[in-house]
Amino acid sequence: SDYSREPSRHPCLKINAKEPFNAEPTRSDLISSYITPVDFFYKRNHGPIPVVDDIERYSVSVCGLVENSKELFMKDIWKLPKYTVTATLQCAGNRRTAMSKSRTVKGVGWDISAIGNAVWGGAKLADVLKLVGIPYLTSITQSGGKHVEFVSIDKCKEEKGGPYKASIPLSQATNPEADVLLAYEMNGEPLNRDHGYPLRVVVPGVIGARSVKWLDSINIIAEECQGFFVQKDYKMFPPTVNWDNINWSTRRPQMDFPVQCAICSLEDVSVVKHGKITIKGYAVSGGGRGIERVDVSIDGGKTWVEATRYQTTGIPYIADDGSSDKWAWVFFEAEANIPQSAEIVAKAVDIAANVQPESIDSIWNLRGILNTSWHPVQVRVGQ
C-alpha cells in the first residue's frame, strides 16, 4: 500500500496506528468545543487516504436493482436541496483499550475520543435515490432491491486490496427523516481528505463503520453487503465466543450504537489541587434516541446526582420539537466536592430508558466493540 500521499494532521492528535492512520484527540481537546473542530475529529482509516484531484471528473454511479442507473457528478449532487445535520459519529471501537484491560481483544486501541460531533452539509440520500426512480419510504424496489451498498475508492487489506464497503436498509436510505446524507461539507467547509473528500455517507445514529468515506458507487442490492466489515467484523458477540468457536453468520451486523457517556475533564487517574472539581463529558445514544439524563457519582456508584446537560451549536439549528438535536451528543457538567480520594463515575440514560451496563465483563466481546460500560475515574487531592 502507498502511504506517500497522506495529508498533514494536527500535532495534538494521539496516534493509535500510523498506517493506516488512526488517531484521536486528547480528552480535554475533545470537550473544548461542542462542535468538534475538523483537526480534533478522530480519524479512522483502513487504508491509505485516496487522492481525488479532478473534481470535474469525479462521479458516483448509482446502479444495481434499479430501473434507471445513473452516473452522478458533483454538479448533480450540488443541485439537490442542501441540508445541514448536526450528528455525532462514533467508532464502534471507542473505549476499546479499557475493554482490553479486562480481557484481551483484537483491534486498534482507542481511549474515549473515537467520537466527534460535526455539522454535516450535503444532499439527502433519499433525494439522490429519487433521481434513479426510487420514491421516498421504499423498502423494496420492483426488481427486489432491499439494501443500499456504498462502495469506496480506498483499498484495504481486509478486502484483499479491494475497496471498503458497507450497506444500510433501503427503508432507512429512502426515509428523508433518517437524515442519511451524501455529505460534501463538514462544519461549513468542504470535507477534507481524511474525512472523505469529495463525498462521504453520513448515517446518523449508527456506528461510524457504515458512514463510508470517498464514495465511488451506490448499489441497490437484494441482501446485505457481503463485504468484510459487514459480515466478518462490527458484530457484537457474547463473552463466551472466542476465536476458536466464532461463527460470524450467527449475528447481525451492528447498526445503531447503544447509549454511551464518558468523563473527559479527568484522566483515568488524576491528582487535583482542591476537592472542589467540575466533572464534564459527553453523552449520546444511537437511533435518534436523545439523552434523558446523566448521573454522576463520587463514591464509585453508590449514590448519584444528576448532571446538567447542554447542546449548543453556535450554528442556528431548529429541532423538530424545538428542544433537542436528536442525532447529536449532549455535554454534561456537575460540580462536586470530593474527599481525599474518590472514584467518580458517570452513566447516561436515553429517552427509551436504556441505561449503560455497570461492568465491562458483562459486555466483553472478542473484537472489543461497543464498550459502553460506566466510565470510572480515580481522583486524589494532593500536590
Helix (H), strand (E) at residue 337: strand 330-337
Name the segment binding Mo ion (CB under 5 A); options: 12-20, 83-91, 171-179, 349-357: 83-91
Residue 258, interface with Mo ion (CB under 5 A)? no
- Per-residue binding string, ligand MTE, 135-154, x by CB under 6 A, is -----------------x-x
- Residue 199 within binding range of Mo ion, rule CB under 5 A: no
Q: Which of 90, 345, 370, 132 is nearest to 251 (CA)?
A: 370
Find which of ligand MTE, Mo ion, none residue 199 binds, CB within 5 to 8 Å per kind.
none
156, 209, 262, 363: which one contacts Mo ion (CB under 5 A)? 209
Helix spans in the chain (H): 27-30, 74-79, 96-102, 125-131, 170-173, 228-231
Binding residue (CB under 6 A) for ligand MTE from 30, 38, 60, 89: 89
CB 75, min distance to Mo ion, A: 31
Q: Which amino acid is at 359?
A: S
Q: Is 206 in the site for ligand MTE (CB under 6 A)?
A: no
- Residues between 159 and 188 with contacts to ligand MTE, criterion CB under 6 A: 164
Contact present, 115 and 42 (Cβ < 8 Å):
yes
Nearer of residues 26 and 324 to ligand MTE, judged by Cβ: 26
Q: Which residues contact 322 (CB under 8 A, 6 or more apart)?
A: none
Give yes or no for residue 95 binding ligand MTE (CB under 6 A).
no
Report if residue 279 touches Mo ion, rule: CB under 5 A: no
> Which residue is closest to ligand MTE by CB?
208
Residue 339: alpha-carbon gap to chain centroid: 36
Please select the residue that binds Mo ion; options are 72, 89, 91, 291, rule is CB under 5 A: 91
Q: What is the 3-state secondary structure (H, E, C) of 108-166?
A: CCCCCCCEEEEEEEEEEHHHHHHHCCCCCCCCCCCCCCCEEEEEEEEECHHHCCCEEEE
Interaction between residue 96 and ligand MTE (CB under 6 A): no
| Side chain identity at residue 174, one-letter code | T
Among residues 16, 97, 175, 211, which is the contact residue for ligand MTE, using CB under 6 A? 211
Q: How far apart are CA 55 and CA 193, in angstroms?
A: 13
**Residue 112 binding ligand MTE, by CB under 6 A:** no
Residue 244: CB atoms within 10 Å? 5
Q: How far is the CB of 168 from Mo ion (least distance, A)?
A: 15
If one asks whether residue 298 binds ligand MTE (CB under 6 A), the answer comes out as: no
Select from 203-211, 217-225, 250-258, 319-327 the region that touches ligand MTE (CB under 6 A): 203-211
Neighbour order of strands in the sheet with 341-350:
269-272, 375-381, 341-350, 291-297, 305-306
Task: Tell me which stretch binds Mo ion (CB under 5 A): 58-66, 88-96, 156-164, 184-192.
Answer: 88-96
What burial class does residue 341 get, using C-beta atoms within 10 Å of its C-beta: 0-12 exposed, 13-18 middle, 19+ buried?
Answer: exposed
305, β-bridge pairs: 296
Closest CA to 224 of 234, 236, 238, 213: 234
Our CB check for Mo ion shows the closer of 145 and 368 to be 368
Give which of ligand MTE, Mo ion, none residue 43 binds (C-beta under 5 to 8 Å, depending on kind).
ligand MTE
**Residue range at the interface with ligand MTE (CB under 6 A); choices 41-49, 119-127, 264-272, 363-371:** 41-49
213 contact choice in ligand MTE, Mo ion, none (CB below 5 to 8 Å, kind-dependent): ligand MTE
Out of 208, 253, 287, 290, the only residue in the binding site for Mo ion (CB under 5 A) is 208
Q: Does 195 bind ligand MTE (CB under 6 A)?
A: yes
Taking CB under 6 A as the rule, does residue 42 contact ligand MTE?
A: yes
Q: Which residues contact 338 (CB under 8 A, 6 or more apart)?
A: 272, 275, 277, 298, 344, 379, 381
3-state secondary structure of 347: strand
Binding site for ligand MTE (CB under 6 A): 41-46, 89, 91, 152, 154, 164, 195, 208-209, 211-214
